[in-house]
Amino acid sequence: MNLTIDVGNTRVKIAVFERNNLVETMFFDKKKIISEIQKILKKYLISNGIISNVATISENKMEKLQKIVNLQVVSSKIKVPFINLYKTPLTLGVDRIALVSGAVKQFPNKNVLIIDAGTCITFDFVNAKSEYLGGAISPGIHLRYKALNYFTANLPLIDALEIENFVGKDTKESIISGVLNGVVKEIDGVITDYDNKYMDLTVLLTGGDTNFLSKQLKSSIFANQNLLLQGLNEILIFNGYK
């Protein structure tokens, strides 16, 4: 069985796979990574593991992890199931590498736009030849709320995923309308641009804000909350770890 580990900015997401079949997923605080993975190892017979580390894990914790599980680390050097045409491949985030790997498996021979709506909103495009061309990076919903609060003197910190009024009737409603409608319009606009340029475009949405955005976007999309974890498993399999 394979263990996939996604270390994000605030929490860790893991999944257990029996070849291509997802068995279980878990989410927990980054501080608990060692103890939680030890629990998983007692529950399942794990042969191989892989980690995508966006947020920095200390060398000490990484060494401990590699002692308890045969762990591959995602980097620009690892073999992937797509052709990377990014101009600066060494700077391509490991989370984006995993997302594209999952997308080419789920939608082979398709033009796919992958939208990951989390702390940042990332757009990644892979064509029908499995060539990764690049994409875009934009502030996510909660990052926009924090920026308005931090960089102004009087705007409050808001954390909402429900649009009460298109025309904000007070400061709170105005912030919510500006942030949420702005994000939705931005994503719809990006999808339209790609759709105009590439035929038969498939749009794949993932990330923490998937549930909210999938209900707001005009375009037809596929939502997959586990895309990154599945992509990590595909990288393992592609490298001969089954």
Q: Is 146 annotated as ligand-binding?
A: no
Structural fold of domain 2-73: Nucleotidyltransferase; domain 5 (3.30.420)
DSSP label of 180: I
User: Could you tell me which CATH number the domain at 83-231 has?
Assistant: 3.30.420.40
Q: Is 193 annotated as ligand-binding?
A: no
pLDDT in tens, 137-177: 999 999 999 999 999 999 999 999 988 788 989 999 999 99
CB 160 within 8 A of CB 174: no
pLDDT in tens, 190-201: 999 999 999 899
Three-state SS at 108: coil
Residues of the chain with CATH 3.30.420.40: 2-73, 83-231
Three-state SS at 164: coil
Helix (H) or strand (E) holding 14: strand 11-18
Q: Is 96 annotated as ligand-binding?
A: yes
Handedness of CA 134, 119, 108, 78 (dihedral sign): positive
Q: Is 195 a catalytic residue?
A: no
Note the pLDDT of residue 55: 67
Q: Is 54 annotated as ligand-binding?
A: no
Q: Identify the band that residue 53 occupies on the pLDDT scale cut at 50, 70 and 90.
A: confident
Instruction: Assess whether pLDDT exceeds 80 at residue 10.
Output: no
The catalytic position among 29, 95, 193, 209 is 95
CB 6 within 8 A of CB 12: yes
Q: Are strands 111-117 and 201-206 parallel, antiparallel or unpaired?
A: parallel
pTM over 0.85: yes
| Averaged confidence pLDDT in the chain | 92
Question: Helix H segments across 44-181?
Answer: 59-68, 94-106, 141-150, 171-176
Instruction: Assess whether pLDDT exceeds 70 at residue 225.
Output: yes
Instruction: Assess whether pLDDT exceeds 80 at residue 242.
Output: no
